[in-house]
């Protein structure tokens, strides 16, 4: 049975509406299959549940966007980045799509795709919130990884490990066609960024987190304090007067709960801890957007696709919790 605990949203003018963007894009990393996630999530009934069980009116174009028309014929590495033209073009377009929903005052749900797409989603909501409310939003980044490499600190060159660096202005590129379209209006402050679930952070990233005093709760912190106290501290850092964009990488969950993902790391969140994070963010009434990324149903599918099925199911649960499902 699904029960809802609806909280009156503080920063949405259309609280009963959700703008949905389905992004079948995998170009921020090397493993195909993450582009199949939106269809798998939708086929498992996620959008139907949001409508019939949680009561939202969905604004969705019934399309899983692959942005094929935006793909360049050649896309050579730039500063070590792989597929820079493609990722930039796709995220720029996605930024406009998310902006259009957020500007209308509705909550935006983006189903990825690899985590590079957050360059599009976060920049879109940041701009809309600045225009609509004249304030900066916060980002809660739930992930095993910090995704804050600059092109120079990245070993792999995969842009899904760099979105936070571009979104905070720590990584910059002047060329319009390679993220030069990210302007001040699109960016978020490192002071308004909170990480939860980190456990595989590169050396260069650790340095960036320390240098900028970024608020980050690793699995060590969660072991020490428990997820309840961690959420108090995370939300305390943000304050109750700030809109929140929740960017949830399914690899924050332990591979036991979400095996079908591109870069699994053992020692992660339980499904309940993940749901609890989402429930707490919902309870603030400050949620203005959520991304669910890095579900890859083609990896570790398991016997009878049980692994893929469980990963999709976990992803759906995280989304429903963030949007108001409650246990009682």
Residues that bind Mn ion (CB under 5 A): 115, 143, 147, 249
Nearer to Mn ion, 12 or 164 (CB): 164
Q: Where are the alpha helices (DSSP H) in 153-248?
A: 163-167, 203-211, 219-225, 227-238
Residue 143 CB, nearest distance to Mn ion (Å)?
4
Nearer to Mn ion, 12 or 193 (CB): 193
Residue 167 CB, nearest distance to Mn ion (Å)?
12
Q: What is the dihedral of CA 136, 140, 146, 147, to 10 degrees?
A: -60
Contact 230, 176 (CB under 8 A): no
Nearer to Mn ion, 28 or 297 (CB): 28
143 is catalytic: yes
Residue 164 CB, nearest distance to Mn ion (Å)?
9
Residue 139 CB, nearest distance to Mn ion (Å)?
12
Catalytic one of 65, 160, 245, 282? 160
- Overall size of the chain counted in residues: 328
Sign of the four-CA dihedral 162, 82, 123, 260: negative
Contact 294, 249 (CB under 8 A): yes
Catalytic one of 251, 273, 279, 310? 251
Nearer to Mn ion, 65 or 115 (CB): 115
CA 326 to chain centre: 21
160 is catalytic: yes
DSSP codes of every residue in 231-294: HHHHHHHH-TTS-EEEEEEGGGB-TTT---SSS--SS-B-HHHHHHHHHHHHHHT-EEEEEEE-
* 150-130-171 Cα angle (round to 5): 10
Distance CA 155, CA 202 (A): 9
Catalytic one of 249, 275, 279, 310? 249
35 is catalytic: no
What is the number of other CB atoms lying within 10 angstroms of the CB of residue 46? 23
Query: In Å, what is the CA distance from 185 to each residue of 131, 133, 167, 180, 242?
Result: 9, 13, 10, 13, 16
Nearer to Mn ion, 143 or 173 (CB): 143
Cβ burial 165-187 (10 Å sphere, 16+ → b, else e) = bbbbebbebeeeebbebbeeebb
Catalytic one of 35, 114, 143, 200? 143
Short-list 75, 104, 79, 103, CA closest to 90: 75
Residue 67 CB, nearest distance to Mn ion (Å)?
20
145 is catalytic: yes
Catalytic one of 35, 101, 114, 115? 115
115 is catalytic: yes
Residue 145 CB, nearest distance to Mn ion (Å)?
5
251 is catalytic: yes
Catalytic one of 65, 101, 145, 282? 145
Nearer to Mn ion, 144 or 280 (CB): 144
The residues annotated as belonging to the active site are 115, 143, 145, 147, 160, 249, 251, 294
């Amino acid at each position: 049975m699904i029960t809802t605990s609806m909280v009156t949203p503080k920063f949405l003018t259309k609280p009963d509406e959700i703008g949905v963007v389905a992004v079948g894009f995998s170009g921020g990393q090397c493993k195909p299959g993450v582009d199949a996630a939106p269809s798998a999530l939708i086929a498992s009934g996620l959008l139907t549940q949001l409508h019939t069980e949680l009561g939202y009116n969905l604004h969705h174009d019934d399309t899983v966007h692959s942005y094929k028309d935006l793909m360049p014929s050649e896309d050579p590495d730039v500063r070590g980045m792989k597929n820079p033209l493609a990722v930039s073009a796709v995220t720029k377009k996605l930024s406009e799509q998310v902006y259009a929903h957020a500007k209308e005052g509705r909550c935006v749900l983006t189903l990825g795709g690899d985590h590079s797409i957050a360059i599009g989603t976060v920049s879109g909501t940041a701009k809309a919130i600045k225009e609509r409310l004249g304030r900066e939003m916060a980002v809660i980044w739930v992930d095993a990884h910090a995704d804050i490499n600059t092109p120079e600190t990245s070993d792999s060159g995969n842009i899904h490990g760099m979105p936070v660096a571009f979104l905070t202005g720590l990584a910059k590129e002047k060329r319009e066609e390679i993220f030069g379209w990210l302007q001040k209006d699109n960016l978020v402050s490192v002071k308004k960024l909170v990480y939860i679930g980190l456990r595989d952070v590169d050396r260069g990233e650790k340095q960036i987190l320390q240098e900028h005093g970024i608020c980050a709760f690793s699995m060590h912190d969660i072991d020490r304090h428990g997820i309840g106290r961690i959420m108090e501290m995370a939300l305390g850092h943000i304050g109750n007067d700030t809109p929140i964009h929740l960017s949830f990488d399914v690899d924050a969950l332990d591979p036991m709960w979400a095996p079908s993902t591109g870069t699994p790391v053992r020692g992660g969140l339980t499904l309940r801890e993940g749901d609890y994070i989402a429930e707490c963010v919902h309870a603030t009434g400050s949620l203005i957007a959520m991304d669910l990324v890095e579900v890859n149903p083609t990896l570790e599918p398991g016997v009878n696709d049980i692994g893929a099925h469980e990963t999709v199911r976990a992803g759906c649960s995280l989304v429903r919790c963030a949007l108001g499902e409650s246990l009682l």
